């Protein structure tokens, strides 16, 4: 365990379903991130939250909706997904968004393997 916990580890959903991914960290980090990892492609940054406030949304379709109720929890709500959304979704955290990243990098969770059928 890295200190960042993601649930579920695996998720299969239909295109009309609604589901949520959960990420939790108790490392005292203030910044949390959602990344998408597709096979043989770079990690794609989706959303960034710093002190519970969304600081980045990298042109992510509205069928992905993030929620950050506090600095320890991050959700990704999913609805009407497409088969091309099938990927590994990684949550990460860092002490702060910015300079503090340099010493430790990000702490990643093990991800949720999502399959859209």
Partner 1 sequence: GQNIDQPTEMTATEGAIVQINCTYQTSGFNGLFWYQQHAGEAPTFLSYNVLDGLEEKGRFSSFLSRSKGYSYLLLKELQMKDSASYLCAVRARTKYTGGFKTIFGAGTRLFVKA
CB-based contact 75:20 (threshold 8 Å)? yes
Binding status of residue 101 toward partner 1 by CB under 8 A: yes
Q: Are strands 10-13 and 112-116 parallel, antiparallel or unpaired?
A: parallel
Please choose, out of 20-28, 42-50, 62-70, 71-79, the segment that lies near partner 1 by the rule CB under 8 A: 42-50
Binding status of residue 47 toward partner 1 by CB under 8 A: no
Question: Order of strands across the sheet with 18-25?
Answer: 4-7, 18-25, 73-79, 64-70
CB of 18 to partner 1, least distance (A): 26
Give the residue, chosen from 16, 40, 53, 59, that forms a contact with partner 1 under the rule CB under 8 A: 40
User: From CA 57, how far away is CA 90, in angstroms rounded?
Assistant: 15
Nearer to partner 1, 17 or 43 (CB): 43
Binding status of residue 74 toward partner 1 by CB under 8 A: no
Binding status of residue 107 toward partner 1 by CB under 8 A: yes
Report the Cα 109 to chain-centroid distance in Å: 9
């Amino acid at each position: 365990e890295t200190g960042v916990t993601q649930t579920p580890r695996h998720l299969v959903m239909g295109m009309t379903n609604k589901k949520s991914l959960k990420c939790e960290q108790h490392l005292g980090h203030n910044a949390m991130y959602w990344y998408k990892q597709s096979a043989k492609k770079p990690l794609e940054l989706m959303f960034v939250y710093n002190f519970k406030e969304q600081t980045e949304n990298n042109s992510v379709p509205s069928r992905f909706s993030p929620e950050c109720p506090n600095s320890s929890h991050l959700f990704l709500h999913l609805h009407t997904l497409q088969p091309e959304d099938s990927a590994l979704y990684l949550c990460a955290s860092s002490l702060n968004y910015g300079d503090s990243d340099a010493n430790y990098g990000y702490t990643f969770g093990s991800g949720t393997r999502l399959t859209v059928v």
